[in-house]
Amino acid sequence: MDIVKQFKRQVEQAGWFNSSQTAVVAVSAGVDSMVLLTLMQQLPAGVRPRLVVAHVNHQLRQQSGVEEHFISDYCRQRHIQLAITHWEVADHPKKGVEAAARRFRYQFFAQVMQQYHASSLLTAHHADDQAETVIMKLIRGGQLTQLQGILPEQSFESGRLVRPLLAFSKAQIRNYAEQQRLTWYEDATNQADDVFRNRVRHQLMPILKQENPAFLNHVQQYTAQLRATLQLTAERTDELVQQIRRTGHTYSVARWQQLTVIQQRAVLRAIFHRAQLPITASYLNQATQLLANKQKPNAKLNLADFQVLEKAYDDFSIKSELKVPQNRQPADKIVVISNQWVPLSRGLQARLVPALKTKPEEPCHMVLELQPEDLPLSIRQARPDDHIKLSGGGHKSVRRILIDRKVPRAKRVHQLVAVTARGEVLWLIGLQRSARHVTAPNYELVLKQSD
């Protein structure tokens, strides 16, 4: 079966689209996204949504401008709605460019979806991408869930993210593009082996395909089986969580102890996940030991992001350990003096110390690169016009972050922020740090809760 018929059958079976919907197609001008856009235009009218092309000019290569003009001409000639944005060079980080570019892209895609009331975002990930991702996860290590690789579809913003080409190999996509004489542009940076994925693509993938030509199909089968198994596991784990739940986010220690060891750890993973905590072997081991220890009816385990697992006789729960001051009346700003602990209120203290370059950033620490005009730092209550710099570029209002984090309205007026002498927000305390560039850290802002 040729790729057009296979693509059509897949779309119809999945029920992804209909003619009354709008879909945003992420198009880079590379061969994968140009084939995806072409196949979407060839769908029968009943299952073909209105298309909106979203293109990001990252301004990382000289060719980016040429690609933008090509996409503009392409969409104009075919009467396809086009949305373009630029990632300003001033917002490019000195490190982690690839991850920052991805964050910027998906923030833009979300905006385009909202603007055009789209139900779906389409990206051109394919079977080779899937295999590369699984190999990378195996090499790096992590949780079993990560070996699902790239999902065919998942929730995204108010709709879903769909990857219609995931069943097709790179060879199939390129062959179709050549047969149809499509125009596309190659990204020269994809050839450089200084990126981990490129090394996997150029050095490992050819060997594996040569060893077994069905390698890509086998990866697809394994990831599909794993998704089904994990779904059943999640459903059973939810049942177990309900069995040990007392009220709200409080759970019974005795009921947890009655579970098997495998069930105990699965339940803890689910509870950590719901609390948006990192799921690490260290946390799981320590939490298991704490809850299983009948000699200590009361104990605490420090976790990430100012949270603790608290055990109190037959109850345990995840709680916030850092209590952000909540005064009845807004307080004036409090200046943080270098090398001195400054009391804020209700036991919260802060100080500014020289940065230790060899020390990793911790939840109650923020590494900073400050200029003389940034000092002194102050801690004050957040204001309606406060904004914080995002890692993907641009800024976001503190008000919107508090809303997104579901902070109750009554507590928002008491939220603390750390700011420079010029009023730049560095830290939405307890929630989010600014993504301002740090190349030569010279200070560290430290918070602690006194006993």
Contacts of 394 (CB under 8 A, 6+ apart): 91, 107
CA 449 to each of CA 115, 341, 349: distance values in angstroms, whole numbers, following the listed order:
43, 11, 6
pTM assigned to the model: 0.67
The per-residue pLDDT for 326 is 44
**In the chain, where are the structural domains located?**
3-206, 222-320, 334-449
Burial of 247: CB neighbours in 10 Å, binned 0-12, 13-18, 19+: exposed
Start-to-end CA span in the chain (Å):
70
Q: Which CATH class is domain 222-320?
A: mainly alpha
Each residue of 197-217: b (16+ CB within 10 Å) or e? Answer: eeebbeeebeebbeeeeebbe
Answer whether 193's CB lies under 8 Å from 152's CB.
Answer: no
The per-residue pLDDT for 289 is 95
Question: Quick one: residue 313, left, alpha or beta (phi over 0 = left, psi -120 to 50 = alpha)?
Answer: left
Contacts of 170 (CB under 8 A, 6+ apart): 32, 126, 127, 128
User: Under DSSP, is residue 449 helix (H, G, I), strand (E, B) or coil?
Assistant: strand
Answer whether 319's CB lies under 8 Å from 411's CB.
Answer: no
Read out DSSP for 313-326? TTEEEEEE-S----
The per-residue pLDDT for 331 is 47
Tokens 């990252």: give the residue. 58
The per-residue pLDDT for 424 is 92
Answer whether 323's CB lies under 8 Å from 333's CB.
Answer: no
Sheet holding 315-320, edge to edge: 245-247, 250-252, 315-320, 307-312, 298-302
Answer whether 366's CB lies under 8 Å from 426's CB.
Answer: yes
Whole-number Å distance between alpha carbons of 318 and 251: 10
The distance of Cα 416 from the centroid of its chain, to the nearest Å, equals 25
Answer whether 384's CB lies under 8 Å from 428's CB.
Answer: no
The per-residue pLDDT for 238 is 96
Tens of each residue's pLDDT in the chain, 451 residues: 689 999 999 999 999 999 999 999 999 999 999 999 999 999 999 999 999 999 999 999 889 999 999 999 999 999 999 999 999 988 888 888 888 899 999 999 999 999 999 999 999 999 999 999 999 999 998 888 889 999 999 999 889 999 999 999 999 999 999 999 999 999 888 888 878 999 999 999 999 999 999 999 999 999 999 999 999 999 999 999 999 999 888 999 999 999 999 999 999 999 999 888 888 888 999 999 999 999 999 999 988 777 899 999 999 999 876 544 444 444 456 776 666 788 876 567 888 888 765 454 566 888 888 887 888 888 888 887 889 988 777 888 888 888 888 777 777 778 888 999 888 999 998 888 898 877 778 888 888 876 5
Q: How many CB atoms lie within 10 A of CB 398?
A: 22
Domains 3-206 and 222-320 share a fold: no
The yes/no answer on whether domain 3-206 falls in CATH 3.40.50.620 is yes
Answer whether 29's CB lies under 8 Å from 71's CB.
Answer: yes
